[in-house]
Amino acid sequence: MYNPRSSPIKVKVVPPVRGPAGGKIVKPLVFGTPIKVYNAIGRKFKFDSSTFDNLDELFPLWEDELPYRSYTIVCHTCQVYKSPTNGTVLNYYIQWILLLGLPL
């Protein structure tokens, strides 16, 4: 919930943000870079770094448009900063999508 008053809690931000495993630095994709959509329909996998660090080897790419209301996991990074004109800004940068199921 948005609260216009500043929080009494002071948070120290420590860049750069590290990936979920292996200490990888996760950077935003360059604007216009196609987002990889991996097809995980009907496949069993562990929801951990052993899967997410090896998506290219474990899942084929989904080549079509994603149908409306598909079941997915969307991986993104976030950036928060103070803007002189817009206050606090939160940006999301999509990294990849894992397609789990299609709508009926």
Query: Cα angle at 86 between 81 and 88, to 5 degrees?
Result: 30
One-letter amino acid for residue 39 of the chain:
N
Residue 83's pLDDT is what?
Answer: 86
Give the 3-state secondary structure of residue 13: coil
Confidence of residue 43 (pLDDT cuts 50, 70, 90): very high
Average pLDDT over residues 12-41: 70
CB 44 within 8 A of CB 19: no
Average pLDDT over residues 14-29: 57
Average pLDDT over residues 62-71: 93
d(CA 102, CA 99): 8
pLDDT, mean over the chain = 80
pTM: 0.68
Residue 52, pLDDT above cutoff 50 = yes
Residues 94-104 pLDDT 10s: 899 999 999 98
Residues 23-36 pLDDT 10s: 566 677 788 888 99
